[in-house]
Amino acid sequence: MADRVTPMSGEHSDDVAELVAQYAQLPTGAPVRLAKPTSNLFRFRAPSDSQGLDVGRFTKVFDVDAEAGTAQVQGMATYEQVVDALLPTGHIPKVVPQLKTITLGGAVAGLGIESTSYRNGLPHESVREVEILTGDGSVVVARPDNEHADLFRGFPNSYGTLGYALRLEIELEEVKPYVKLRHIPFASAAECTEAITRICANGEFDGERVDFVDGTVFTPTEHYLTLGSYVDSAPFTSDYTGEQIYYRSVQQRRTDHLSIHDYLWRWDTDWFWCSRAIGVQHPLVRRFWPAKYKRSDVYRRIVAWDRRHSVTDRLAVLQGKGLNEPVIQDVEIPVQRLPEFLEFFHRDIGISPIWLCPVRLRDREGWSLYPMDPDTLYVNVGFWATVPLRPGEAPGRHNRAIERKVTELDGHKSLYSDSYFEEDEFWRLYNRPAYQRLKDTYDPKDRLPGLYEKCVRER
């Protein structure tokens, strides 16, 4: 088994020099954006006529050191590319977000999470240093112990408003070939919450080690925790890239086995469960839908096209139906408040299924623009669907209600989708003083958009 990938520092330096030159040639006052083929943001914008920075070459994984447990990764490498490079060495990043085309730089600047997060935290917490093209056109290397430590702490949740990650040094986790799954049912949110707390404290369940924890809520009386454990061998492995659907197996099976590769991408094939909205879960459609197109990025492009042309809304009007409000959010809720949040959500929103993923910060110093308490176990609650609007209701009502409830429960909301916060409220939650200091230092001429403007105002 290989334990090292050849260094490519010279080639990376050439890539950086070319990008810096591109940035310098952009007209003063022109909007700055990245020219990249995929996105996992759900703030859909009209196509821009402005020329974007060509970051297509920043996709390399190099200097993989299995003994040290580190790798150098360029910022636009997708997790699919990173996993493909690292798995032959027997390693993966400590946290691998669920969707293949999430980039490493994107997961750090815009947050990410997965079923190792109860023990490994968020993706940016396993970054040792990050090389950033800042808003003023400089390239700096930020580490927790150097003169750019403030940027290192403030880069997560900045969403490209302070600069772009060009290279990251990340910590790796050694893996085994297979993952054994146990799907544990719970009849109530209180029972599920108690189990999450106990499992995350002990790292085991019924005497077996637990390496991965996430959960699925189907109804107020049907909750499952999926507990994964690394194993060297498996009596069988399931395949959910064909006609079988992974999230349905959570209800149907008590134990299962997947290769580590298929475990990492178990949610991508059907975009969790969102492929059903596109018809891909219908047996006839699924049988003839090419396997290479059973991917989250394909489905997202379909949704983006639909949003751009308002096809679904126009059909709803023609059929005499009301419009629907997209409710696409991930929120972190303190574990002890989870039953309260789920009760509100079932009653007032009504989307199902719901994804659960516990997370505790590894780093006690914290991260200035997403200030979670390192002593608190949180549960990420993810929900991605639409909710019918009653006549006269404006889009945003349901999202706004969720934002208020999350704040009431001392939670936090990720900003990858539409947000509706008032500006003063937003900055109370996302630390305006720290952000403004960083903006003044690293983007003094405001060449990049502000965080509120990008994440809320530009709807």
Taking only the tens place, the pLDDT of each residue in 384-396 is 999 999 888 888 9
The residue whose two tokens read 């006549």 is 391
Query: What per-residue confidence (pLDDT) applies to 7?
Result: 57
> Are residues 212 and 116 in contact, defined by beta-carbon separation less than 8 angstroms?
yes
Question: 289: closest CA among 241, 247, 237, 238?
Answer: 241
Residues of the chain with pLDDT under 70: 1-8, 40, 42-51, 459
Q: What distances in angstroms separate CA 237 from CA 97, 173, 180, one per listed residue? A: 22, 22, 9
Q: How many CB atoms lie within 10 A of CB 453?
A: 13
Kindly list the domain boundaries of the chain, sorted by start residue. Answer: 9-175+446-457
Query: What per-residue confidence (pLDDT) applies to 34?
Result: 82
Taking only the tens place, the pLDDT of each residue in 18-73 is 999 999 998 887 778 887 777 767 666 655 555 688 899 999 999 999 899 999 99
Query: What per-residue confidence (pLDDT) applies to 1?
Result: 33
| Burial tier of 197 (Cβ tally within 10 Å: 0-12, 13-18, 19+) | middle
What percent of the chain is modeled with pLDDT above 70? 95
Taking only the tens place, the pLDDT of each residue in 179-188 is 999 999 999 9
Q: What distances in angstroms separate CA 424 from CA 420, 448, 458, one per listed residue? A: 12, 21, 16
Query: What per-residue confidence (pLDDT) applies to 429?
Result: 97
What is the value of pTM for the model shown?
Answer: 0.94
Query: What per-residue confidence (pLDDT) applies to 28?
Result: 80
Structure tokens at 399: 């999202």
Q: What does the alpha-carbon distance between residue 342 and residue 196 come to, in Å, rounded to a whole number?
A: 15
Specify whether domain 9-175+446-457 bears CATH 1.20.1530.20: no
Residues in the chain: 459
Q: b/e for 114-126, b at 16 or more Cβ within 10 A?
A: bbbbbbbbbbbbb
